[in-house]
Structure formats: C-alpha cells, structure tokens
Structure 1
Amino acid sequence: MGTVLANREFRALWISEAVSVAGDQLTRVALAILVYERTGSAFYAAGIYALTFLPALAGGLGLSQLADRYRRRTLMVVCSAIQAVVVATMAIPGVPLWVLFVLVIIVPMVQSPALAAQNATTREVFADDDAQYLRSQDLRGISTNTMMLLGLGGGGLLIGAIGITWTLLIDAGTFTVAAILVHRDVRNRPPAGSKDDGWFDGAKWVFGDRRLRVLLSLSWLVGLAVIPEGLAAPLAQEAGAAPESVGWLLAADPLGFILGTFLISRFVPDRHRIKLIGALATASVGVLVLFALKPNLIAALVLLALAGAVGAYQITVMAVFNSIVPNEIRGGAFGAARTGLRVSQGLGVAAGGLVAELIGSAMNTVALAGLLGVVLAIPLAVAWSRLHEAPAPAKPSTPDNDTPGRQEAA
C-alpha cells in the first residue's frame, strides 16, 4: 500500500484529505460545545452538529457536477480557501448564533464539489494502473477512518486544553494546508467535461446502467449497518454496561473497518475483491442478526467490529464505480452516489430509532435490521455475480439526451 505514496500527486491529495477530515471532526465537537455553552439547549447543540452533515446532501447531488465543468485542481484549491475563511470566521469570539448556523451550512456545501474533484482526480492520477488505484483507495479508507476517530475522540480533550477558538483556527489551518499542497503538487488538468453538458448527466448515466444500480444498492445497505451507531446508548444499557461504554460501541465499527481494509488489501487478490462484493455486503448486515441473542458488552463489541471489517467492501465498491464511470461525468456521478449513501444512513438511523421505540428493544431492532439487510442483499449479490464482468455502456454523445446510458449491462 505504501508504494502509492511515491506518487507526488496522490501524496498531496492524501495528506490534504487526512488533515481536513481530522479538522472537520474537531470543528463538529467544538461547535456542539460552543452552542451548548451559550444556549444551554441540547436541541440547539444537536442542531448545529446535524447541520454539519445535512447540507452535503444538496451539495452532493448538485454542486458535485462542478468537478466536471471546471479544472479540478482549481476547484479544490478555491473550495479549501473558502472553507478556511469560513471556519476562521467561526472562531471570532461572540459571533451571533444565527451567523454561526449560516457559516456551518456553507462549509459542507462547499466541501461537496471539492470531494467530487478529489475523488475524480485520484482516478486520473492512476488512470493507467488499476492495482495502484485500488491501493490508493485502501489507504484513503484507513486514514480517513483513523482521522475521524482521532478527531472525535480527541476533540474534547483538545478543546479542554486550548479552547474552542484555537481549535477552530486549527481546522481553518488544515484547509489552508490542503489548498497549498494541492496547488503545489497536483497537475492542473483541463476540465474533464463541458459546460454544455446537462446538469444531471452524471446521475442519469449512473441510474441508467443496471450494473451501477446493483453496485450502489449494495453500497447503500450501509443504511441498515449504521443503525447500531444511532442506538449505541440503549444498546449499552441492554448489555448491562456503564454509560461510558457508548464510546466503545461507537468506535468498534470504524476500528473494524480499518482492520478489514488492511486485511483485504493485504491478502485478497484484486480480481477476487470485485467478485466478493456481494458476499461481503451480505455478511456486513448478516452479522447484526446475532444481536437477537442479546450479547453482553464484549460480544457486542466483537460483532460490531466484525461488521465493520467485512463492511470494508465499500472501498472496492467505490473503486469499481470510479473505474466504470467515464472521466468527463465522474464528478456528478460521485455526487449522486455519495448523496444516496448519506440519505440511506440518515433514514436508517431514524427508522432504527423509531422501531426501537415501538418494540422496546435496541438489540432486537439491530437484529431485525440485519435480517432485512440479508433479505435485500442476497438477490443483489446474485445479480452482481452475473453483471460484474459486463462492459460499461458508452456515455451518450449528446448532452441533451433524456435517457443517457440506458443500455443494461448484461
């Protein structure tokens, strides 16, 4: 995996993403604490945290297409600069709450096209080496999850040590570093697409291809796999564990994901990884069925870590996705895929909470989610086993085509 770091362009993209992710987690924690200290309202504290996620939905589906219409390096640099200024403004003591809420909306909105550009550029960097591209995605998956854990886990400690203002300024600094690295080390390639393309050509092309529909459906099963995170507190209670164990339950899945990504990358040949997507997707939700046995805390942690480990198939899903989608619409296509992923996670957590409230058991809710996931995953896995070797359909040559890429891969 370390061989991909010899590529200067990827190294800049990788470092900029890692430091930005860590800074984002610090900001989420800092803003939640800041708003709670100023208002004393748990509702407002939760609201400011939620706002760091929700605008990415609209930005992912709409603004991601900017990554196809403009130079991707320029877009990444401009977006990082805007985010640095916005977060630095948040750090000004006494900023009115309404201004803070507006600024919080801007950051993830701007982040969406930057992520789409970064995702597409990484594929361009390794356009002639599929094996190294897959390794680069493994490394991104490991580092991103590690930085999220460090940022969330250490955020409170850092804020206690240096204060909210300096913590926010650190996040602003991470965006500045990202902008400098990308501008210095990433090639300034011409736009991949055209400003004359239809605004949602990427999304239309994706959903017009049966193979990609099946692939994304397997990815969006994470909406069921994420339900234990939303029920961490009642799960700890049912397991007879102390409230402090909620953090362990939340950390188990991403820790498992990091380990699973490394093991799959190290021991599973590339050609087999694509074939195993369906089986691993089924296993990632199937493990949750065992919560029907009412495991204790240790067993619950093992189950969640195991679910996270096999859930590392998500890395392969996005690598295959980016390899199938034409470069000129890759930004918009990525935005559609990421938006679907976010929506599935949000709906999954909300539905899990509702079901747990109705049946009175978080563990039974998780088990039911796992059972539903298996029922959905098996036919999708069978379909993927038949479709994964099919050639991709050609991108339509006319931007105003109403049904781009309607051929079904078979």
Structure 2
Amino acid sequence: MASSDTATASATYQEVFANPVFRLLFGANLAAVLGTTLRMVALSLLVYDVTGSAFLTAFTYGIAFAPQAIGGVLLGALPDRLRPRALIAAGHGLECAVGAVMALASMPIGAGLLLVAVLGALTPAFRGATSKVIAQSLHGDAYVLGRSLVGLTMSGGQLVALAAGGLLVAWLGVPGALLAGALCHLAAAIVVRLGLPNLPVEGRAAGTVVRQSWSGTRRLMKERAMRSLFLAQWLPPAVVAGVESLILPYARIRGFSVTAASLLLACLPVGMIAGDLLMGRLVRPATRVRLVMPLMTLVGIAFVPLMFEPPTLVCAALLAASGVGNAYMLGVQGRFRDAAPTALLGQAFALLGTGLMALQGIGPMVLGALAEWTGYGAAVGAAGVATVATAVALWPGWSRSTAPLLTGAAQTPEK
C-alpha cells in the first residue's frame, strides 16, 4: 500500500461528497440504516405484544448483531473474493427479501427471527465490501472525513428511524412497517446495482471462504500494530455502549425527572456529533493523530466523576465531554486503512465491524452485571477507569507507530 495518508493536508466535506462513488454508497447506506432499524423496531414490538416478555424483546433487538461474530470470522474474506458491486447489492437484496417475507408470509415469530439471525451472520461481509470501496475511493484526509460521515449517518439514521418506527407501526401495523423497511433496502440495492462501477477483485482466492477467512483473521490479529488498531476501535465504544445502557437507571436512582433523564441520554450522541464536526473541520490531520490518546482518555475520565453523584447539569456536561472524546476515532481510521494489508483490506473492515458490534453487545451486559453488584454510579466510574487504562496501555505503541507520520517521513506499513 502507498505511504500513509493520515498526515496530509486537510480535506473538506464538500470534497468528500464530490466523489461519486462515496456519494452513492452514502445514500445507499442511509436507506439501509433506516430499513434495518424499522425492521428491528417492528419485530421488537411484535414480540413484546405476543409474549409480554422484556427479555425476549431485548433478545429480538440483538438477534441481528450476535451472529455477526460468527460471520465476521468465517465469512470475512468474501469482500476480497467477490466483486463489490455484486456483493453489496446482494446484501441489500437479501435484507429486502427477508423483510418482505416476514411482512407478507404467515410464519411463526421464531422462524422470522431465525431469518434475521442468518442475515446477521452475512452482514460483516456486505459492510466490509462497502468499507473497502470507500477506502479505495477516498484518499488522504477525505477518507477520514468520509468515514466520519458514514458513522454520523448511521447514528442519525437510527435516531430518526427509532423515533419514527413506533409511529409507523401504529399507522401501518407490523407487516406494513416491515414492508417499508424492505422497500428501503430495495432502493439501496437498485442504487448500488445501477450506479456503482463494476470494480475488479484484486488477486486470486486461495482455498475455501471459511479457510481463507480464518487464516486472514489470524494474520490480522497476529500483527501487533493491527491488533492495537483493532483494540483502539473496539474497547472504548464497548464501554460507552455499556454506560449508555446505565444512564436511565442511574438517573432513576438519583431521583432525576424524566426530562432530565432524557437530557442525559441525548448528551453522549450530541457530544459525538459535535466532536466529529469540530475535529473534522477545525483540526489538521497530523494534530488529530497526536490527539488520539488524549481524546480516548477524555472518553473515560469524564465518566469517573459520575460516581460522586454531581448535579444534573454537571452530569450532562460530563457525558457530552465523553462524547466529544469519541472524536479520537478520526485519528485512528486513516491509520487503520494504511496499516491493513492490501490483500486483506475487505476482511480487515469486516473484522473491525464484527468486533465492534459484538463488544458493543457485551459491554452493556458486563456493566449491567457489575451495576447489580456495586451500584450504578460505581459501575459507571469503573467503566471510565477501564477506558483510561486502555488508553494508557495503547499509548506507547501508538506513539511509536505514528512518529514517522508526524515528522513527515514516509512510511510503508509492513505486509
């Protein structure tokens, strides 16, 4: 791969959207996020209406995410074996088919959830292909801003779909909401199939998909630099997801009003959006690299005072500050793209997404169990300490790996 792009001149969001491939995938991704979230809301409400079980409702919410851990490890090589246009369009097409079948066919809830679980196992391959094409289409700082925009789109799209999902179910019924979600995926599939260039596959496949995926995963995780980059993007988000799951019970234990609890719940995502926009627009690429570990430390440090039960506005400010700290990702993403072996670029993104989804599911469970033992405030404080410890542990390796970038020396990642 070429020399690192992470320390090049700053790009603008206008430059990112000027790229036709990114613009197309951005739109398709937005439609897909809306469709997936609508399906998730409709299924969760259906399961709760039928069973009355909070556990089964939560299980339904997570059924599409847990199988990704299996699919990412065993099928992660698909983005490096198949043409991206066909793979991405097939992914959206399958999403559409599953939603349409559940909407139009009379089938048991368990069978529908099984379809969603199988689809979840394939998701890392589809998303890995999308991430690979974006990485190959955008260069330098434009890639970092593009990845930031994709993340903001997913967060914003999920918030909109979650807010509108209940209204759509009430208006259209569960089958109608499922069909609306399927149509979103159909639109994404058509846009990709008709608009995305039929890019070639680099290299030749060796062995079966499962064998290549397993060997590629082992190779990626064996390299210390790649392992650190994975952990930097996996562990803090897992902790943040865990803290998010405790905000409402924390507010309830503190005796906060419903309005105050809602305010606290919104502070983290608002801080994330603000941090990404500020870092993307006002901070130079090389400075973002220098700020990675300080900002990661901020993510955790901001949680620690919550264990001392500060006033509501202080809690809100701390949660917003932690969200701003999440902008450390902008300094990591370009380095990750540069360090990934060219032959495993698609699999590297598939594995990144797999670990992120799996650990964001595990984080709330671990912190929830800890909160039952220590109390909510102590659990949130422990989460902050764990994030700071992660930054401290990764800091020396990060400083060594980025030194050539910050001094202007060319660096070609080891393959």
- One fold, TM greater than 0.5? yes
Q: Is the 8 A contact 1:141 1:315 kept in 2?
A: no
Report the equivalent of 2:94: 82
Which amino acid counterpart does residue 319 of structure 1 have in structure 2?
G
**Using the alignment, how far apart are the partners of 1:196 and 1:382 within structure 2?**
36
**Using the alignment, how far apart are the partners of 2:75 and 2:263 within structure 1?**
36
**Using the alignment, how far apart are the partners of 2:23 and 2:166 within structure 1?**
29
Matched, 1:30 2:42: yes
Q: Residue deviations 1:160-215, cap 9 Å, x none?
A: 23322221112111111111111222211111242216333432332232222222
**Using the alignment, how far apart are the partners of 1:58 and 1:66 within structure 2?**
14
Local SS of the residue matching 1:191: coil
Q: Is the 8 A contact 2:88 2:192 kept in 1?
A: yes
Report the equivalent of 2:184: 174
Matched, 1:216 2:230: yes
Q: Residue deviations 1:7-27, cap 9 Å, x none?
A: 211111000111111221221
Matched, 1:333 2:348: yes
Report the equivalent of 1:295: 310
Matched, 1:370 2:384: yes
Report the equivalent of 1:187: 197
Taking the TM superposition and a 5 Å limit, the aligned residue runs for 1:6-405 are: 6-92=18-104, 94-126=106-138, 129-196=139-206, 198-219=212-233, 220-243=235-258, 246-359=261-374, 361-389=375-403, 391-395=411-415
Which amino acid counterpart does residue 180 of structure 1 have in structure 2?
I
Q: Is the 8 A contact 2:85 2:197 kept in 1?
A: yes
Change (3 A) 1:279 1:238: same
**Using the alignment, how far apart are the partners of 1:71 and 1:284 within structure 2?**
38
Change (3 A) 1:135 1:43: closer
**Using the alignment, how far apart are the partners of 1:142 and 1:339 within structure 2?**
19
Change (3 A) 1:61 1:251: farther
Q: Kindly state the Cα deviation for residue 238 of structure 1 after the two structures are TM-superposed.
A: 2.5
Identical pairs, percent: 30
**Using the alignment, how far apart are the partners of 1:21 and 1:380 within structure 2?**
32
Q: Which runs of 5+ in 1 are unaligned?
A: 396-410
**Using the alignment, how far apart are the partners of 1:157 and 1:241 within structure 2?**
27
Report the equivalent of 1:3: 15
Question: Taking structure 1 as the reference length, what is the TM-score of the superposition?
Answer: 0.90
Q: Is the 8 A contact 1:141 1:261 kept in 2?
A: no
Change (3 A) 1:310 1:106: same
Question: Taking structure 2 as the reference length, what is the TM-score of the superposition?
Answer: 0.89
**Using the alignment, how far apart are the partners of 1:57 and 1:246 within structure 2?**
32
Q: Is the 8 A contact 2:309 2:377 kept in 1?
A: yes
Q: Kindly state the Cα deviation for residue 243 of structure 1 after the two structures are TM-superposed.
A: 4.5
Q: Kindly state the Cα deviation for residue 323 of structure 1 after the two structures are TM-superposed.
A: 2.4
Local SS of the residue matching 1:199: helix
Q: Residue deviations 1:356-388, cap 9 Å, x none?
A: 1112x2112101111122123113123211222
Aligned residues: 392
Q: Is the 8 A contact 2:37 2:162 kept in 1?
A: yes
Q: Residue deviations 1:48-89, cap 9 Å, x none?
A: 112022112212222221000111111001111111101111
Q: Kindly state the Cα deviation for residue 246 of structure 1 after the two structures are TM-superposed.
A: 4.7
**Using the alignment, how far apart are the partners of 2:398 and 2:320 within structure 1?**
25
